[in-house]
Structure 1
């Protein structure tokens, strides 16, 4: 079998870092770990070609060569995902799809014409698909209620990647999360009992990357790295000597719940093992909203004090914040902005709440008749896909203002300096070197923030202060400033997209006779507004 594996184009979003990557001469933040793991699960005698369309487009020769097209996608990639399915069908190729988006919304892929849906977790369903294909099945939907033993997951096919194009490589230690936040789909996809790989298994994957010469970021993509804190500590205790022996060749980052702050030993092990950054879902400083969406782990201690503990221990915090919760009080955007300034968190993913398919939130809003069909874009420039309890215009205008002010260049530089100033310096000496991408990024940041913009004076004295007092944090500090370049540009796009949608909503409210019969969404918004 000749299989062409495709990863669709990723539109510009908070996580695309498009402007930052351009400055560095890179093409994408990280590769699709799920798809290159599927490649490792396919029969050894299959011929495989791979194209990450964020790095390079597949050629017409690739389409002519293949017997089968396998496409994975997340919801934000749905437009290109559909186009690829339709192209494969038009060319007479068999098309198989899988990944988080098809698993959550299988009807989308079916409507686009996909022949095979390989859903849920591939360790269980890829063998079912391969067996059916061997029996000559023309179509099929392959699902499994069982959760696979991830200790049997093979090493991903890193060899398929053009590694020079990425800012980070990806590995996975665990799947699943023990919490039950109403808006999150992780427990739907992977369950509430975290399953972890063996330490030896993880070190084997890292060894492959090390031998391939990788020396940038390694993103441990777990949705909650500390979901099984006991096993996380066991892995970290094995990782520390491995990293020490190789003089810390990678910069590690991951995602974890805020209760990480309650376990000093775990934080210390992460720092010793080479983790520099952790993304944590803070969501909102409003306790009432946290209780409402069952994010109880964020209500046990002061949010600001928890962030302070993690930062002073030596980890940079990235965070997620959400607006649009039910019964949210006016001024939510300003309260979030003030919290971000208080904690000095540089990169804060502020989003409007979206109801993901089959989550507890989706099911509740469906019962209440508040879901709105037809949006489904799920990025910072998209309106909510449900009717909120506050007027939508009020929520969105607050959101636009907060997002804009958070990513003004001068406040961003100030709080980045504040955050790194508080950060404990417990980094070991590293063999990492400034490669060409890092040098390009360094020069671009100095030019834009140190010469062109009005931030120039603050930029240079902050840089000198970090270099003199916390030199081991200098590389990470520069990367944080480079990330700001993406957000400085992206806020213009977010504001324009949301203002356009609000204008269209007002137009329909004033002239409902112009509403197309098939577009239910704008009229629903207009009625709510």
Structure 2
């Protein structure tokens, strides 16, 4: 008998869960915008386990990845398929963030009921176990249900251990690796099969080149989950990732490093990408994340552009220095914002910035004032508004937990799009209204045209592109009621997938409501898409578009900085200018003294 027919099989089911909308239905799209890096990393690690035969030569590992943002996950169908083939399985719920935890548990409940072993990892479990002195009740309840919790990262053979334990029927309740974060240089290549990548809008993939962050932002979970000591891949790792995806026709990537500018190998990475482009015609299109000081690094922006970066995410966070200090975001200097954004704009790279509302010093008036300052004085394209949220795993959450301050018990709301605490200066209703109005204030037709004109003033740029993206953000917020970063193409909603404990609606009522909801959305889609298209075409075909300029694009002399509202009207803005002038004077004096010492030595 042929030995291959005697092989046993373990199906490794990798599921990146989504989370529920306000009505309790999973947020799933026909095509999703942002690919899952965790899913790609775990698939690569699983494939490495398969090649190394970690379960022995008589056991074949088959990996099945599911990204629930673009794929309906049917536990009943998965279980039925397993029964037909007689395979054993391990279900891994991967990359589970706090807002995805309820959905992950609901999926786990169904698999466990069918007798399958389930493991769960991600930022929620890792963050809670790293920052709290006790196991939170929702994690304990999941373990009591039979879910094995994995806290930490799965490189350096840790996935091997989980697979072997699952195969031998001795899966542990908890795998806690938070005190021993692995190196990632030379680690297996993150990848996904073509069938999974095809469900990402634009056929994008993602990977990381570094983990960890040296900063101390109190609202951040990364420093407590991935550590404050940075770990890196190398240029050979990058080339392997690019080539592996290139063979599948994937050339567009989201590099998920929290701050590419602080990756000490950034220049080696960009140089390798440039070499691949010039020598072999392998050209990658990249989205990266950077900090607000990246423009001060010599050649960083120029090389990023040449390496294929076309979009950057920037943690702007706020334009009020007092708010930044309160969150320990000391590395952000509002005196550098304009210069940094102007440098990216001149390079023709689209800028997308995260901006947080809900700091203790915020008021409705200050928030709406700041929206107008940003629109007028910063050459920024997409502004991503978030609510300041005490995410489990952050210092903010730890502090409020210790103080016994009320935080919403529904983890599904911890998506940075729902308020989960009370604001000290605004009522709940006023804060919620301010958050909605801030979105509306930034994404007006007039400002969409302004951003389009700023890009239209650059030769070779298509001003219809930023108009399209800004319109898409506006549509997601107004029509779909989700944060635009959770958006996608064509929302999919299934009656029986509703959140555990919520009533399953009758067939007729569900579809009647769905039809009415779809008709309402289509009207919004049509109106806003037509509006955005007209703005883009208007600017694109303006014969004088290259002559356009405005305050955000113009350089401002150092001695005139305090004339800008960015510094004159924000909380702490004037002090920031004074501090910068003092620092500049100190540097100038130091340079003069250095030159004098050199002259004396000669």
Instruction: Please indicate the TM-score interval, normalised by the length of the shorter structure.
Output: 0.7 to 0.9
CA distance in 1, matches of 2:343, 2:401: 40
Tell whether 2:240 aligns with 1:231. Answer: no
Distance in structure 2 (CA, Å) of the matches to 1:390 and 1:61: 48
Residue equivalent to 1:413: 448
Deviating more after overlay: 136-145 vs 373-382: 373-382
Equivalent residue, structure 2, for 1:141: 174
What's the CA shift for 1:268?
0.9
Counterpart position of 1:127: 160
**1:4 touches 1:63 (CA, 8 Å); kept in 2?**
no
Q: Residue 7 of structure 1 corresponds to which residue in structure 2?
A: 16
> Deviations 1:234-279 (Å, cap 9, x if unpaired)?
2111111212345464321011111112224111110010101110
SS of the counterpart of 1:165? coil
The residue that corresponds to 2:538 in the other structure is 461
Q: 1:111 corresponds to which residue?
A: 141
What are the equivalent positions in structure 2 for 1:164-175 lying under 5 Å apart?
A: 164-167=198-201, 168-175=204-211
- 1:63 counterpart = 2:93: no
Equivalent in 108, 113, 116 of residue 85 of structure 1: 108
Question: Which one of the candidate residues 371, 387, 411 is aligned to 1:337?
Answer: 371
Query: 1:29 is matched with which residue?
Result: 33
1:220 aligns with 255
SS in 2 for 1:57: coil
Residue 12 to residue 303, structure 1, CA distance change in 2 (3 Å): farther
SS at match of 2:405: coil
Q: Decide which moves more: 283-292 or 51-60.
A: 51-60
Shift of 1:190: 0.8
Change (3 A) 1:136 1:391: same
Measure, in 2, the Cα distance between the counterparts of 1:102 and 1:368.
21
Whole-angstrom distance in 2 between the partners of 1:90 and 1:327: 49
Cα deviation, residue 426, structure 1: 9.8
In the TM superposition, what are the counterparts of 1:361-400 in structure 2 within 5 Å?
Answer: 361-376=396-411, 377-379=413-415, 381-400=417-436
Superposition TM-score, scaled by structure 1 size? 0.75
Which of 178, 182, 187 is matched with 2:214 structurally?
Answer: 178
> What CA distance in whole angstroms lies between the structure 2 residues aligned with 1:457 and 1:62?
46
Q: Which moved more, 1:347-356 or 1:237-246?
A: 237-246
Give the match for residue 43 of structure 2.
39
1:67 aligns to what SS in structure 2?
Answer: strand
Partner of 2:63: 48
Q: Indicate whether 1:283 and 2:317 are aligned.
A: yes
Question: Take 1:254 and 1:172, find their aligned partners in 2: how far apart are those partners?
Answer: 10
Q: 2:395 aligns with which of 360, 366, 369?
A: 360
Q: Deviations over 1:357-388 (max 9, x none)?
A: 13121222234443424143123541133553
Shift of residue 405, structure 1, vs aligned partner? 2.2
**In structure 2, distance between residues paired with 1:92 and 1:467:** 68
- The answer to whether the 8 A contact 1:68-1:96 is kept is yes
Q: Distance in 2 between matches of 1:49 and 1:251?
A: 27
Contact 1:323 1:351 in 2 (8 A): yes
Query: How far has the Cα of 1:344 moved from its partner?
Result: 4.0
State the Cα distance separating 1:462 from its structure 2 match: 1.0
Deviates more, 1:161-170 or 1:372-381: 372-381
The 3-state SS of whatever aligns with 2:362 is coil
> Mapping of 1:251-290 within 5 angstroms?
251-290=285-324
Alpha-carbon separation, structure 1, partners of 2:449 and 2:371: 14
Q: Is the deviation greater in 98-107 or in 150-159? A: 98-107
Deviation for aligned residue 1:152: 3.0
SS in 2 for 1:146: coil
On the 8 A contact 2:186/2:237 being kept in 1, the answer is no
Shift of 1:177: 1.3
The separation in 1 between residues aligned to 2:308 and 2:543, in whole angstroms, is: 20
8 A Cα contact 2:283 2:308, kept in partner: no
C-alpha change, 1:468 and 1:328, in structure 2 (3 Å) is closer
Spell out, residue by residue over 1:128-187, the C-alpha distance to the aligned partner (whole angstroms, 9 max, x if none). Answer: 323433554243311221121111320124226432221221111111112111101110
Name which one, 1 or 2, has greater alpha-carbon Rg.
2
Residue aligning to 2:386: 351
> Deviation digits for residues 202-246 of structure 1, max 9, x if unmatched?
11111111111124x311111111222x31112111111212345
Paired position in structure 1 for 2:187 = 153
RMSD: 3.1
Task: Describe the shift of the 1:351–1:271 C-alpha distance in structure 2 as closer, same or farther (beyond 3 A).
Answer: same
Distance 1:58 1:397, change over 3 A: closer
Q: Residue 134 and residue 460 in structure 1: after superposition, are their counterparts in 2 closer, same or farther (change >3 A)?
A: closer
Hey, what does 2:117 align to over in structure 1?
Answer: 94
Alignment partners' CA distance in 2, 1:123 and 1:55: 26
Q: C-alpha separation between the residues in 2 aligned to 1:313 and 1:27?
A: 30
